[in-house]
Structure 1
Amino acid sequence: MQNHLVFTVIAKDRAGLVERISACIAALGGNWIESSMARLGGEFAGIVRVAIAADQADALVASLQDLSADGIDITLRSDRAGQEAQNGTSAHLDLVSQDHPGILRDITHVLTAQGVSIEHLTTEVVAGSMQGEALFKASADLRLPETLSPGALSDALQETAADLMADINLVD
C-alpha cells in the first residue's frame, strides 16, 4: 500500500536544495508525484507530494526532518489516503491590474463567496510597457462547485474587476 505525503519546504536559496530533498525520497523508494517550487525574496519555497510504501513513510518523515540541520525547513502534511476525486468544473483565471494593495483579497473574496477552490495560483508585479507603472498579474487554476457555471462566476468577477480597474479573463 502506498501512502501519499504532502510537505512544504523553505530554505535560503542555494544550489542543491531540490537534489537533497529528492535524494531522501529516492533513497527510501519514494516517488515524487507533483510539486510547485520557486525562489521568492532570496528564499526557496515549495510544496511537494510524494508516494511511498506505507512501511517506509515514517523513515521518510524522519529523513526529511533531519534536513533542518542544514537549514532546510520541512513542514509535513499527510494525505495518506491519496488524492481525492475532483468534482466540479475547472476554469482558468488571468488578471492584470495596475498594482495596489488589496487586489488579491478582493478577487479571492469573490471566489470564496461563490464556493470556488483555487488549485494553483501564481502572482507577480512587473513593470508596465509604456509608462513603467507597476502591474499586478495573477494566474489561477480554479475548481468551481457543481452548482456554479463559469458564466456566472465570470459575471461576479467582472463586477469586482470594474471596481479594481482590472482586466479579468476567465476561460473554462
Structure 2
Amino acid sequence: MKHLVITVIGKDRPGLVETLSETVYQNHGNWLASSLSKLAGQFAGIVQVEVATQYVSLLSRALADIADLQIHIVEDDSKAIPITTLHHLTVTGNDRLGIVKEVTGKLKELGININKLKTDTQSAPNWGYPIFIADFQLELPAELQLDIVQDELEKLADDLNIDIDDN
C-alpha cells in the first residue's frame, strides 16, 4: 500500500469535497485524513490517501482530471510513524504584522516541529480592533521543557497571550 499526500486548490463551489471523495473511492483509494478550508473564495486542502500500488497512477490521473482544481500528489515514503508527545499552543493578541513570523521563528530556534497550524482574526467589538488567534499542534524535542517554551514565547511581545499545554 502507498500513502499519498494530495494538495488541492481551486475556486470554491458546492460539491468539491464530494467530487474529491468520490474520485478517491472510485479509484480504490481510502481517505485517511484531511484538512480542507475555504480561504478568500478559494477551496484549499490537503488529503492523505492510502491506495494499493497498482492503483496509484489510475488515482493520480483521475484526480488530475477534476475540472478547475490544481492537484499536487506526493508519495509518503516514511516507513514508520515515530511516537511523539504532542502539545497544544494558542497565541492570542492584537492583530499586527509579523506575529506568525515571530512565533514560528522562535519555535524553529527551539527545535520544535509544527504539526498543525490554524490562524484566524476575529473582531473585538468592545475594543474596536481585530484579535489574532493562532492554534498550533507541536512536537517538542524530548529534552525541551514546556516552561522554557512558554518563557521564550512570552519574551516575543507584551501584547501576546501564550497558552501551552499537553494535548
TM-score if structure 2 supplies the norm length?
0.94
Match of 1:74 in 2: 71
Partner of 2:14: 15
- Distance between the aligned counterparts of 2:104 and 2:112, measured in 1? 9
What's the counterpart of residue 125 of structure 1? 121
| Unaligned segments of structure 2, at least 5 residues | none
Are 1:60 and 2:54 an aligned pair? no
Partner residue in 1 for 2:25: 26
- The aligned runs of 1:150-169 (5 Å cut-off) are 150-162=146-158, 165-169=159-163
Per-residue displacement from partner, 1:97-138 (whole Å, max 9, x unpaired)?
101100010000110000111111110111114122111111
Q: Which runs of 5+ in 1 are unaligned?
A: none
Q: 1:67-91, CA deviations, whole angstroms, 9 ceiling, x for partnerless residues?
A: 2xx101101121044652233x311
Following superposition, the deviation at residue 150 of structure 1 comes to: 1.3
For 1:50, the equivalent position in structure 2 comes to 49
Q: Which has a greater percent of helix?
A: 1
Identify the residue that residue 37 of structure 2 maps to in structure 1.
Answer: 38
* % identical aligned pairs: 34
Amino acid across the alignment from 1:41: A
Is 2:102 the counterpart of 1:106?
A: yes
Q: Give RMSD over aligned pairs.
A: 1.3
Q: What is residue 83 of structure 2 aligned with on the other side? A: 86
- How many residue pairs match? The answer is 166
Give distance in 2, aligned partners of 1:102 and 1:86. 32
Read off the aligned partner of 2:36 and give its amino acid letter.
Answer: M
